[in-house]
């Protein structure tokens, strides 16, 4: 099939961009899904400074890398979340503990990301949208239907103007279905897509690692929502329930062996990637397979190098013949 194998740089933004590109090439990647924070991509600068865009393009070209998507996860989270002190870690330091200003910054920056994508020749913006109702998940104290509807409607109201700018710039937004988002599982995804009236600019970034530990079968989710899947993450997770651990994680940090599940480097978890490739082949997905490398128990250069090779091995092509054609009359 020879799909592009790219690396999400969200977990690598401590590296200078040139160093990131060099290491990605050495690890075996064809391109990057560039994070829009840290030392990688400043979308406001890219939207307004042609020389900066030239630098990004020339650095990618220098190492023979392509960019088909940019990642805006922590920016988009600040659009839909509100008055959460944890957002101080995502927004500029001068906006700390100013929820209205954080949201305004996030909305503006998401619009800049659309312009930046256009200037870079990128058509896909991956990310999160946040959720004003995630805190209501367990429904105690009781969560009313009206509260849930208000949460979904709030997300649509906040994101429609952003999607307008994304459309104007010839791109699409691909939401990564993920705990902490308004759409975090099968039915919440179904509901959100309906709320957006299946608007073409709003689709999905499929990531199986966030589904497997919830008990959702990733390739079935992929098959059912394939028409809205604009981008694919290759990421693994392992469920290790032992009679003491639980799926909610016990407020224990990732990587701790007491947790009931953990993200794992590709091929070291429970995701059935062969079934995912079969679905992608059946429906003609020819976009990138983007490795989001997260494994607190493994050195990252070793793990990400192994992950690139894993994707190339599992990404088999669809057959162009029926296996029994040779015996037909």
pLDDT of residue 234: 98
Asked if residues 145 and 98 have their Cβ atoms less than 8 Å apart, the reply is no
Show the domain range for 297: 5-327
Q: What is the pLDDT at residue 69?
A: 98
CA distance 170 to 31: 21
Q: Is the peptide bond preceding residue 141 cis, with omega within 30 degrees of 0?
A: yes
pLDDT score at 329: 60
* Cβ neighbours around 254 below 10 Å, total: 13
CB contact set of 17 (below 8 Å; sequence gap of 6+): 39, 40, 41, 56, 59
Q: What is the CATH number of the domain that holds 264?
A: 3.20.20.150
Q: Are 295 and 303 in contact (CB under 8 A)?
A: yes
pLDDT in tens, the chain (329 residues): 589 999 999 999 999 999 999 999 999 999 999 999 999 999 999 999 999 999 999 999 999 999 999 999 999 999 999 999 999 999 999 999 999 999 999 999 999 999 999 999 999 999 999 999 999 999 999 999 999 999 999 999 999 999 999 999 999 999 999 999 999 999 999 999 999 999 999 999 999 999 999 999 999 999 999 999 999 999 999 999 999 999 999 999 999 999 999 999 999 999 999 999 999 999 999 999 999 999 999 999 999 999 999 999 999 998 887 776 777 66
Distance (Å, rounded) from C-alpha 45 to C-alpha 122? 16
The answer to whether the beta carbons of residues 227 and 190 sit under 8 Å apart is no
Angle, CA of 46, 52 and 55, to the nearest 5°:
125
What's the number of domains the chain is made of?
1
Answer yes or no: pTM beyond 0.75. yes
Residue 322: predicted pLDDT: 79
Query: What pLDDT does residue 324 have?
Result: 66
Q: Which residues contact 108 (CB under 8 A, 6 or more apart)?
A: none
């Amino acid at each position: 099939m020879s799909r592009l194998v790219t690396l999400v740089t969200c977990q690598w933004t401590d590296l200078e961009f040139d160093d990131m590109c060099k290491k990605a090439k050495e690890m075996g990647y064809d391109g990057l899904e560039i994070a829009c924070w840290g030392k990688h991509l400043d979308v406001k600068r890219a939207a307004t400074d042609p020389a900066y865009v030239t630098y990004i393009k020339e650095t990618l070209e220098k190492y023979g890398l392509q960019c088909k998507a940019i990642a805006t996860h922590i920016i988009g989270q600040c659009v839909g979340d509100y008055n959460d002190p944890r957002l101080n870690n995502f927004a500029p330091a001068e906006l700390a503990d100013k929820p209205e200003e954080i949201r305004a910054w996030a909305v503006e920056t998401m619009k800049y990301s659309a312009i930046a994508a256009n200037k870079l020749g990128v058509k896909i913006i991956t990310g999160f949208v946040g959720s004003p109702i995630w805190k209501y998940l367990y429904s105690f104290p009781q969560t009313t239907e009206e509260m849930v509807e208000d949460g979904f409607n709030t997300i649509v109201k906040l994101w429609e103007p952003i999607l307008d700018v994304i459309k104007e710039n010839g791109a699409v937004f691909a939401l990564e279905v993920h705990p902490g988002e308004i759409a975090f599982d099968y039915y919440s995804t179904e509901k959100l897509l309906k709320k957006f009236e299946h608007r073409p600019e709003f689709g999905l970034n499929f990531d199986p690692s966030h589904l497997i530990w919830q008990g959702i079968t990733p390739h079935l989710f992929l098959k059912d929502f394939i028409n809205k899947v604009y981008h694919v993450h290759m990421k693994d997770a392992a469920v290790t329930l032992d009679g003491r651990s639980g799926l909610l994680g016990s407020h224990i940090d990732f990587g701790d062996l007491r947790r009931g599940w953990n993200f794992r480097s590709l091929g070291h978890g429970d995701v059935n990637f062969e079934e995912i490739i079969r679905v992608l082949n059946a429906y003609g997905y020819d976009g990138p397979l983007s490795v989001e490398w997260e494994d607190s128990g493994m050195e990252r250069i070793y793990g990400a190098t192994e992950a690139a090779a894993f994707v190339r091995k599992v990404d088999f092509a669809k057959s162009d013949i029926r296996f029994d054609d040779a015996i037909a009359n």
